[in-house]
Structures are given as C-alpha cells and as structure tokens.
Amino acid sequence: MSNSSQHQVLIVGAGPTGLMLAIELTLLSLSVRIIDRAAETKRQVRACVIWSRAQEALAELGVIDKFLARSHKMHNFDVYAKGKQLSGFEFGHIKSDYPFPMTIEQHDTERFLAESLSDLGVEVEWETEAIGVRTHDDGAEVTVRAANGTEETIETHWLVGCEGSRSPIREAAQIPFEGEPALNLQAVQVNAKPTWRFPKSTSQGYFFLGEQVSIMSIPVPGDTYRFFTFTTDPSPERKTPPSLAEMRDLTAAVSYMPELQLELSEPVWLSRARFQNRIAATLNKGRVLLVGDAAHSWAPIGGHGMNTGLRGAYNLGWKLAAVECGEAKSCLLDTYTIEQRANAQTIVDANRMNIVEQPPSATKLRLMQTFMPFGLSLQPVKRLMEFTLSDLGMEYRNSPLSQQQKGSGSLHAGDRLPNVPVVSGDGQWANLHRSISIHHWTLLLRTKDSQVIERAYQIVGQYRSTIKVTTIQPMDRDSDRQLGRDGQMLLVRPDAHVGFIGAVNDYNSLVKYLDTFLVRL
C-alpha cells in the first residue's frame, strides 16, 4: 500500500548535520520532513569535540543550552613524548561567547538536536528508508519504505542527502565522490576510565607521542576519557575492533606508564577505522543537495569532521530558505558548493600537515622533541593554533558572495564577523554578534551621518530579504582594529560572515551586490 505527500524539503539522514539543517529550515518557516533508516539516534559515541564556531551556530539556532549542561569545557592540553612533557597548551583566549572547545559524545549531540527539532513540531521518521529517487526541474519524487513495509512517495522541492559517506542520494544524483584512501593510517579508540598518575579533571587533555603512533586522551561526560590513537596500518585486512587489553598496552607503552589501567565505560566504544579523503564534485545538483559526510569525508585528525558538517548545514540553511521563499536568486545557493568544498579541501590539506596527530617517524619525533617546547612557548604560535582549531578562521574569501571595494585592515569579505564590543546608534553596547540573526542580513554602518543612514534604509527596503540597518562604533582600540576603517559599511550574511565591504556612501556598489544575489520587491 502506498500514498503520497508533498513538502518543501526532504532530508535523508538524521545524524548531527541532518538534524541541524532541519532545525534551521524549520526556524525559517519551511516545511521539512527528515527520515532515517536507523531505529533511533545512535548509541555509538563517535565524534566528541565541538569547536567554538560550531558552538556559535548552535547558539544562533537556540539549542546550545542542553549542550552546555551536559558537556565539558577543554581548558588545557599537555604534550608528552617518551614520558617527558614537551609543552602545555591553553584554550579560552579567542573572542567568542564560546571560547573553549566542548567535549560531548555524538549520541548526546544527536539526542539533543532531535529533541530540539521535536520541540519545533518536527519528528524524525525512524526506520524509514529511501528506496527510489526521481529528480526533475522543480524537485524530486522519493519513494520511502517504513518498517512495517508501507511505501510512500514524497514529492519535495528539495532533496538533501545527509546519510553518510556511502550516500545513496549522492549516488542516485550521479555525483562523483572524488579523492583516495588515506593509506597506512588507522585509528583505534576506546572510551575508558583510567587509573594513572594524573589527577582527575574534566578540563585537562593529553597528547602522547611515540614512534609511528600518537594518542590523544580527553575527558568526556560520564567520568570517562576518550583514548584516540592514530597509528600506521601494517595489517589493513584486520577489521575487528581492538580489545581493551590491546588499548591498555598501547597507551601504557606510549605514555611510559606501565602501571596504567583502563576500565570500559558505558556505552562501550571500541573502534578500529580506516579512512577515505574524498569531496563530492558538487554539493548541489539541480534539486539535490549534499551535507556532512555525504559531501566530504576524511580521517578525523583535528576533530573537524562533524564540525565541518555542522557549519555546512548552518551555511546551507539560510541560503536554501531564501531561494525557496523567492527572496534570493538561485546563484546564492551555488555559493554553498563553492564555500563548503573550499573549506573541506582546507581541512584535508591541513590534516596532511598536522605534526601532532599524524603518526611521527623516528626522525620527526626527534625534531618534535627538540623544537616543540620552544615553538609552543611563543604566545603568537599558541594563539594562532587556538584560532585555527576553533574554526573561527574558516573563511569564504574566494566566494562570489564575498566582495569588497577597498581594503579593511585585517577584516576581509568572507571572514566571520569579529564578535567585538560596539556601541550601537541608540547608545547601548553589546558584543557585535548580538546584532546578527539567521532571519536577516545586517548592514553595519560606521558613521553618524543621518543622510547616509537614511539612504541605506531606502536601499535595503527595496528587497524581499530582510536587511537590518545598524550603526556601530567600536568600544576600544582592539575592536576598531578588527573592524577596519571608520566610514565603512559591512553587509553581514545571516550566518555572521561578512558579504560586502565598502565605503558608507558607495551606494552603487552595494546595490550591484544586492541585485546579484537578492530579489527586489
């Protein structure tokens, strides 16, 4: 027996990225269905770190509070080699409302997102599988089968594949998944309660470096540590998970702690994994879109896989809603592919150069022992590493959506807007991100000229998209430096990235930019 229904967006895959996209689209008033062939949210812990930029996105969607209540904040990392501490590293110095990396297990991440989506009136349809896809110019028809065998044809304006690296939606759309395997690299993991020489802490993590192996140990909720080991892969045919004894012996040897003991925690997580470094040739083809691991996949060095997927969903949501609602032209949606593929390639390239987590050779290990203590003693090096890890530096400068008429100091079109304190036109001060929302663009004017301000209101009122006008003045010298020159305008996208930079009286350039992407009334 079958029936049919119609929705604006059908999301296939209820992992973190699919759930986050569903929340954003629902907040932006689109009708959404989300299905997953699994029976429920995962019991597997998997990804366990959420960096600052993804936390900002979760906060903008109004779902961060549950995460903060359940997670730990990572304050410090110490790096050891052959039993000796090489250096220490501190977090918390970046300008964000969420300056510390968050540790939380993926099954909790998915549960909280599913609960938040349910609060908005949308339930995940579990045990429901897409078994047939037909696309056309105006949308797609997807045949789905429920657990009881009932089949339904869903007519949707947009079909989004969020179902992982083996995405059937990507295959149905005939989108190549370009790249290659990550050779001679495996990750073995365990969640366990350690008995060791270190004091118990929910905010202190460790790196242990050895020849051809690196081990990261971080506290996660539940009085537990994640032991995440990258090592060479002499037996790629071996598929079974590591045993607890294997993980204990490996960790004890690399950390030079023969007395180390590990006790498995619940849910049990013992994993052996190999990886592919792949990026889809395009992330939007007609009415089919790809997000998360369906769009890009790599070895989890640096812990940016899920984070890149969450940021991708955040990037896509407001663009898809604007095009679907007739507020923006289709070329706006094309920028999702350009921006997200570039970010994904940046991560893949950075992983190859990661000197801490890539299993070091004997020569490389000796060099790290010699130079790392000095390098990480330098504050500029530490701050750059923290900024890079936070994802706050992930930018879209080469996107068609990023345009500027003149230089603006350290701030460029495509950058995340600095979250610095400013005084608005009504004399109130607040961190700048308080002015930003997924529900509107924001035109920031660094001027008090009433005629300029009035003209800005006239211009933005000609478009279907809501564009909020705000005058600002930096609170201090650092804020002034980060925002560029006085007398400029910054047009900020709904996802808090700067789209356009120009002089406050350069109306023609602003109008040309808006006409490229947005629809007039």
pLDDT per residue as tens digits for the range 441-466: 999 999 989 999 999 999 999 999 99
For range 263-276, the mean pLDDT: 91
For range 384-395, the mean pLDDT: 93
Torsion sign over Cα 116, 121, 127, 132:
negative
Alpha-carbon span 202 to 103, nearest angstrom: 9
For range 422-430, the mean pLDDT: 82
The answer on pLDDT for 75 being more than 70 is: yes
CA neighbours within 13 Å on the CB side: how many for 434? 12
pLDDT per residue as tens digits for the range 96-110: 999 999 999 999 999
Alpha-carbon span 149 to 223, nearest angstrom: 42
Domain-located, residue 255: yes
For range 289-313, the mean pLDDT: 94
The residue range of the domain holding 500 is: 403-517
Question: C-alpha dihedral over 271, 293, 321, 467, to 10 degrees?
Answer: 90
Same structural domain, 163 and 191: no
pLDDT per residue as tens digits for the range 485-510: 888 999 999 999 999 999 998 999 99
Report CA-CA distances (Å) from 430 to 99, 336, 423, 426, 516. 17, 30, 7, 11, 32
For range 341-362, the mean pLDDT: 89
The reported pLDDT for the residue numbered 55 is 98
Give the ranges where 394-496 is alpha helix by DSSP (H).
450-460, 477-483
Structure tokens at 58: 């979760």
The reported pLDDT for the residue numbered 407 is 58
Beta bridge pairs of residue 489: 445, 502
- Residue 375's identity, in one-letter code, is G
Same structural domain, 43 and 128: yes
The reported pLDDT for the residue numbered 299 is 86
Report CA-CA distances (Å) from 380 to 80, 93, 207, 419, 482. 21, 12, 21, 20, 17
Same structural domain, 494 and 455: yes
The reported pLDDT for the residue numbered 44 is 63
Q: Residue 501's domain is classified under what CATH number?
A: 3.40.30.120
The answer on pLDDT for 283 being more than 70 is: yes
What are the φ and ψ backbone dihedral angles of 244, each rounded to 5 degrees?
Answer: -60, -40
Pairing relationship of beta strands 296-297 and 224-231 according to DSSP bridges: unpaired
Same structural domain, 302 and 441: no
Angle at 359 between CA 49 and CA 207, to 5 degrees: 45
Radius of gyration of the chain (CA): 24
Same structural domain, 32 and 124: yes
Query: 180 exposed, middle or buried (CB, 10 Å; 0-12, 13-18, 19+)?
Result: exposed
Same structural domain, 112 and 190: no
Domain-located, residue 144: yes
pLDDT per residue as tens digits for the range 15-50: 999 999 999 999 999 999 999 999 887 656 688 999
Same structural domain, 167 and 247: no
Q: Residue 217's domain is classified under what CATH number?
A: 3.30.70.2450
Residue labelled with tokens 């989004």: 160
As a whole number, the mean pLDDT across the chain is 93
The answer on pLDDT for 2 being more than 60 is: no
Q: Where is the domain boundary, 273, 308, 330? A: 273
Question: C-alpha dihedral over 4, 6, 10, 13, to 10 degrees?
Answer: -30
Domain-located, residue 32: yes
The reported pLDDT for the residue numbered 4 is 60
Nearest to 483 by CA among 498, 504, 468: 498
The answer on pLDDT for 428 being more than 90 is: no
Nearest to 283 by CA among 58, 16, 492, 17: 17
Same structural domain, 112 and 164: yes
Alpha-carbon span 337 to 283, nearest angstrom: 5
Q: Where is the domain boundary, 312, 332, 353? A: 353
The reported pLDDT for the residue numbered 33 is 98
Residues making up the chain, counted from first to last: 521
Same structural domain, 169 and 194: no
Beta bridge pairs of residue 429: 423
Alpha-carbon span 508 to 521, nearest angstrom: 18
The reported pLDDT for the residue numbered 281 is 98
Angle at 461 between CA 456 and CA 462, to 5 degrees: 110
For range 462-483, the mean pLDDT: 92
What are the φ and ψ backbone dihedral angles of 49, each rounded to 5 degrees?
Answer: -125, 135
Share of the chain above pLDDT 90, in %: 81
The reported pLDDT for the residue numbered 5 is 67
Q: Give the H or E element holding residue 307.
A: helix 305-324
Query: 10 Å Cβ neighbour count for 350?
Result: 14
**In angstroms, how far is CA 280 from the centroid of its own chain?**
17
Q: Where is the domain boundary, 290, 325, 353? A: 353
Domain-located, residue 451: yes
**In angstroms, how far is CA 405 from the centroid of its own chain?**
29
Tell me the three state secondary structure of residue 6.
strand
Q: Which of 203-212, 330-339, 392-401, 404-413 has the lowest mean pLDDT?
A: 404-413
Domain-located, residue 305: yes
Same structural domain, 449 and 305: no
pLDDT per residue as tens digits for the range 140-191: 999 999 999 999 999 999 999 999 999 999 999 999 999 999 889 999 999 9
Domain-located, residue 207: yes
Alpha-carbon span 50 to 67, nearest angstrom: 10
Q: Residue 128's domain is classified under what CATH number?
A: 3.50.50.60
Who has greater pLDDT, 52 or 374? Answer: 52
* Number of domains forming the structure of the chain: 3
Same structural domain, 252 and 165: no
Structure tokens at 214: 């690196």
Alpha-carbon span 34 to 245, nearest angstrom: 41
Answer yes or no: are the C-beta atoms of 169 and 159 closer than 8 Å: yes
490 Cβ contact list (under 8 Å, min separation 6):
411, 417, 443, 444, 446, 483, 484, 498, 500, 501
The reported pLDDT for the residue numbered 408 is 60
- DSSP labels for 138-189? TEEEEEEEETTS-EEEEEEEEEEE-S-TT-HHHHHTT--EEEEE-TT-EEEE
The reported pLDDT for the residue numbered 3 is 59
Domain-located, residue 95: no
Domain-located, residue 122: yes
The reported pLDDT for the residue numbered 1 is 41
Same structural domain, 293 and 343: yes
Structure tokens at 413: 């079109």
